[in-house]
Every structure is written in structure tokens, then in C-alpha cells.
Structure 1
């Protein structure tokens, strides 16, 4: 096959090298490789006797090599599950972590210090799922995911979503406008995200985490004080106040410009708008004033609870659905997550 990557499946009876055809994907066949389409082969045709093995390569480039070995053959009970995880050690590698080398780097940083992750840059730390622990293995969670292997979209939706007759966690109500528009494949992805978000072990927020989340909102509320923040005739915060927010919160690290005009300083504008949306500030007679809610908040935890309960609200159902999807992506481990004010 020249310089082409190895096929995903290779049968290796006992420990002898396999001299027969490889089992290929449709993409491999389209690329001109020679072998048998893997969907045309039954597992019991290649794993027949104890000791027979398959090798499997996942994610060409990262090249995760697996060995599947048949330990024994016995009758299957009528009520037996499709597959069960009976044992293991540590968690599986994260998707797109950079192969064995990247995985080992992450594990080494975690074992050195699970909190600070020495040796990793900020981008890698932010990329890791909340509460990630490479030493943790949940056999029940693995078995639950194995039970979904081989099911078609209808079966999966039935298993994951009560709205489709299943026993899973279901969809957040706010997602419904997107679900009404989504093709079946996307609906299935939403269902899987819901399962991952509701079954994953979530990390507790530390006092430092709460302070970091609350800091920009608390700063703007306290800047308003009893007299409020004066606005221009056009309704923008006055330049001196914009400049204070811009500098004191370090927003100049991620934005360009003098930071003295709110309409040209997006981070300050977004922060102000989110404070209003969360019910912490309100416009009144040319000023931004603290609300009754803002005056009642005295702790970082209180701020975070107020934000979490209000920032997903929106009069527009599609805006609300988009925010719900953002929250779902953030809560589901292994899914891409973004941070914003």
C-alpha cells in the first residue's frame, strides 16, 4: 500500500502475522486500497477461538493502536447486555489530545499537581474538561456507553430522550426551537450531549473560581455605587468610566484601542449588557443604577447563582435556545467549550 496508512482493522489469529486481506472502510476503498469492507464481516468470523486477536487503529495521525483478544467463548444468557466493561485501569485518553505523546504529557502534569498542572500552557488548561481526572474509571459509565454501540438513530433517541419514549435525561426545554429545525443526525448529537452533561462527574467550584467568575460583574455593580454611572446623551457610559473598566479589569489584553468609548470597546459593552440582562443594572434618568437584586448580593457565590439563573433567559426563543446549547456544550465533558463574559 506504499505510503498509505494501515487499515483500521487487521486480524491476527493467536500471535501469528495475518497474511490475508485487511478490513477497510468505504473511504479506504475509494482511495484505492485493497481489502474487504469491514461492514461485510461478522465479528465471529474473525474471532473464533480463544486467543484470536484483532488490531485496530483509531484516528490516523494520532494512531491509537488497540488489540482486541478473544479470551473465551460461552453461551449468552437471553437477558445479557450487549456488552459489559468488566475491568480497566485509568480513564481513556481525551479526543484530539495529540496521540500517546500528548496524553502522557497531560497525565504527567495532572500527577505532578492536579490543580496547577505544571508544564501546561493556559490554552491546554482551559481545554481540559472540568473535573478531568485521568486516574478515574467508572465501569458503569463505560458499560452504559457500550450499550449504545450498534444502535441506529431511532434506537439511540429512544434510549436517550424521554420525549421519544426513552428513559434518558431528555432535552432542556429551551432547546426545543432548535430541535424542531434539526435533522435527525443533529438531534442525535444533542441527545448524546445531554447524556454526557448529566452523567459526568462535575467539579466543585472553589472560592477562587467563584471570585474569578463574579469579578467583572461585581466590579461594574460596585462602580455604579449609590449614585450610578453617568451616561452620554446617546446612552453610552461616559469615557472616564469606560476607561476605568477597561484598565482595571485588564480588558486591554484582549482588545485594541484606547478603551474610552463604549461603542468601540466591545468587551466593556458586552459586560454592561450582560449586567443589565442579569438584572444587576438598569437605566434610569441618564444613569446606570444598581437594581434591588444587585444591592442584595454580598458574596461571590451569590453573584454566580444570580448569573447562572438569569443569563440563559431571553425573550427570543432562538436566542434562548442558542444559550442553552452553549451551556450544554460547556457542561458535556469532551465537547468544545468557550469562555466569555
Structure 2
């Protein structure tokens, strides 16, 4: 079956081997996956070309048949249920083409043509992409005419709307794929097509087989899963996550210092519940933070790096406060002389210890970005995580997309951890932060846990 988007020039098309016993609701899934749509709009099938005026045949005007989903059936007495009709009943050697419309506003018309019938082996996939050209148009780009206009504007830096449209494309395409009108990854499409059918003997490829990534993937809308899986693969999550002792000791130095300073006997806090001034001053000096700090650096409530370190260690389960004293947890006592073990403990804690589900999702998306190592500006991290949270269904109480300041609040604790580990080096998020190999390995270890 050849699927082509009407009016596309150059043509956007796919050549598929498809089991004719698949019902039209499953053919909808196949087309969405093969073309690369995100399945965020309504759709229908019809046996009549929407672009042509109906003409009488033998003096009779033949009414077109239209197949729709269950939701649309509730508003129609004439449409047919797509789940009750198999492709082979409609698209035959004797029939004309079938038409599939996606997004009734933009009106993306797909022409489905039978190109042949072949006997299939017993283990043949239910749907497989053989060939094709060009990625799907961007969702909500105004139909094929609007999409062509968009491409023209993007290709012309002098166009009045070039800058605004470029920003819109970046947001719409999202952080998990570069927008390239010519791009088509047939192998990735076939992986997704195989995953559409539960009876198929296929494992989710690469990083998607890891529990945290798999769980996030399955909660995403089906139309965006391929992009996410491909991005996870680019983050190298299948690489080793071991760390050398020297690197682990360097990265975990702040947490190691605090744990060893508290020691097996614990340390008493002041009457107000703060670390003693001498300990605060010692921390700033020993950890090399004093040179960048203005002030005496001896009061914890006014010395942000030490306060953040202590609070972070408590959240991660390294220390706890009991009756006015800081004491080590049993796990930390075992790790005082094991920097690599502490490194792994921190990675697992960062991935799993959260106050609520929205924070958990934000942190996992953030760790994926760190593992990929493609962002440098903090604003880019926030934008990428915001996109992922929206795809996972998080929004404000009014249904609006999450603002950067909201995402920042969800990530502030994780950001503190990465600052303490030296993965990021700018506490106010204004400088560029290039993540190096040890930081990427830490993020991978967290996502592996």
C-alpha cells in the first residue's frame, strides 16, 4: 500500500506491507506511525476523493462512505465504525483508492493505493515500512499549503517572519528531534510499527528497555514515542555507567566532606537549628567555595552553598536530623570509604527520592538531557523539560503549559545535586554549562537505577 499526502511537493510518501485483515482503527495507528504524526487530532477514512466533485454513475449519485472512530460515531447516523471494517474489505484490486484525513482543521489528506498482493509468511509483521520519502509535516502548520509556505519562510533569512517561525518550529518539533523536512528513519519506523502489535515477538530497542525510560515512554502519547526513544538512544544510555575511584572521590567531595565531618557520633546544631559557625566556615574553606563568596561565610542561613549541601544531603538520605543533631544514615556509614559506592548511591537517590510525581518526571527528563549532553544554556534545559512534562500530561490547573519558573521550581533540588557534584558550575544559571563525560555517566547511572 502506498500512502502519499495529497498536494505535497516534493511528495511525502510511504510504501508499506500491511496485513489486509487489520481493521481501519489499526490502519490509523499504522499511518500515524509510518508518516510520523503525533495522533493529536481527529481523523476519518472515505472511499471518495475529497478534492473531486461527485458525479452521477449510470444516472445515480453514489454517496461516499465514511469510516470514523467511536467518538465521532456518537454525532453521526451515516458514518461507519472504523473498528468493524478491515482494510481488505475496502481497498481491493477492483476498488479505487482510499482516503485518510487527519486533522479536520488543517485537512491533511492521505491517498491510500493498493500496489499489489503478496502471500505473507506466518511470522510476517502486521505492518512494515519498505520505502518512503520525507518526514511528516509539522502539526498545526496550516495544511499542505501552509506547510509549503513555512518551508519557504524558513529557507529565506530575509523573510519578515523568518525568526518567529523558526522559534515556532523549534517549539513544535520539540527537543527530541531536529527539524529536517527530508529526514526519514525507516528502521526506527519499523521498530515502532512492530511495537504496535502486542503479539509481535519484539523487544523495545536500546535504552527504551530500561525501566525508567520504558515507563516514561509508555506514558507519552503514541505519536511522540519514536522521537523520545530515538533521543534516549542518542543519549548513550546503553553505555557503561561505572566510575573510577578518583573521579568518584572528586565528584562526591562535598558530600563526602560533610559525611566525614559529621562522623559516626553526629554533630550538634545551634539552638536555632543551624550548623555551628565554625563548621560552616570550615566547609567553605575546605571545599574551595570561600573565594567566590562575599561575607564572613560563617552563618549557615546566610551561606547558601553550605545550606544547600546540607539540605541536599538530607533529601538524598545521607543524613538526618534527630533531636537537634545531624547524624549519618546507616547507608552513609557504609560508604564513608567507598566514593564509587557513594557516587552510585547519589545517582539512585536522585532518580527515586522525590516529593511528588511531577518533580519525579521533571528530574528524569532533566537527567536525560544531562546524559545527552546537548544543552549548554539553563533556559534550554528548562524548555526541554517543559516540553516533556507537557507531553506527559502535566499542566497548570487551568490547563496551560508549564512556565519556565514552574519547571525551575521542580528542578531546583536536582540542580543543587549537580552543582555539588561539579557537573554544573554556575549556581545562578546564567553561564553556559557544558556537561562533560563524568557528568553524563552520572546521569546515565541514575536512569539505569
Corresponding position of 1:124: 168
The reply on whether 1:145 has 2:192 as its aligned counterpart is yes
The reply on whether 1:196 has 2:227 as its aligned counterpart is yes
Contact 2:47 2:97 in 1 (8 A): yes
Residue of 85, 106, 111 corresponding to 1:41: 85
Deviation (angstroms), 1:135: 1.6
Corresponding position of 2:353: 316
Number of aligned positions between the proteins: 236
The reply on whether 1:229 has 2:294 as its aligned counterpart is yes
Matches within 5 A, 1:183-222: 187-189=218-220, 196-200=227-231
The reply on whether 1:169 has 2:169 as its aligned counterpart is no
TM-score, structure 2 as length reference: 0.40
Contact 1:196 1:332 in 2 (8 A): no
Distance 1:67 1:336 in 2: 32
Corresponding position of 2:126: 82
- Provide, for residues 243-271 of structure 1, a one-character-per-residue CA deviation record: whole Å limited to 9, x for no partner: xxxxxxxxxxxxxxxxxxxxxxxxxx9xx
- Provide, for residues 139-159 of structure 1, a one-character-per-residue CA deviation record: whole Å limited to 9, x for no partner: 22222222234x2xx659x85
Higher-RCO chain (CA-CA 8 Å, sequence separation at least 6): 2
Deviation (angstroms), 1:68: 0.5
Residue of 35, 56, 62 corresponding to 2:106: 62
The reply on whether 1:53 has 2:97 as its aligned counterpart is yes
Distance 1:138 1:46 in 2: 29
Contact 2:189 2:226 in 1 (8 A): no
CA 1:227–1:189 in structure 2 vs 1: closer, same or farther (change >3 Å)? closer
RMSD of aligned residue pairs (Cα, Å): 5.0
1:86 counterpart SS class: strand
Unmatched segments (≥5 aa) in structure 1? 1-5, 162-166, 204-223, 239-268, 279-308
Contact 2:43 2:102 in 1 (8 A): no
Distance 1:323 1:125 in 2: 25
Deviation (angstroms), 1:32: 2.6
Residue of 136, 147, 150 corresponding to 1:92: 136
CA 1:59–1:95 in structure 2 vs 1: closer, same or farther (change >3 Å)? same
Unmatched segments (≥5 aa) in structure 2? 1-41, 56-61, 236-288, 314-345, 370-383, 392-401, 409-428, 430-449
Contact 2:188 2:226 in 1 (8 A): no
Matches within 5 A, 1:223-262: 226=291, 228-230=293-295, 235=301
- Provide, for residues 63-108 of structure 1, a one-character-per-residue CA deviation record: whole Å limited to 9, x for no partner: 2111101111121233433222222222112334443355334433
Distance 1:62 1:168 in 2: 35
Contact 2:127 2:194 in 1 (8 A): yes
Deviation (angstroms), 1:331: 8.2
Distance 2:43 2:155 in 1: 35
CA 1:192–1:88 in structure 2 vs 1: closer, same or farther (change >3 Å)? closer
Distance 2:79 2:222 in 1: 35
> Higher Cα Rg: structure 1 or 2?
2
TM-score, structure 1 as length reference: 0.51
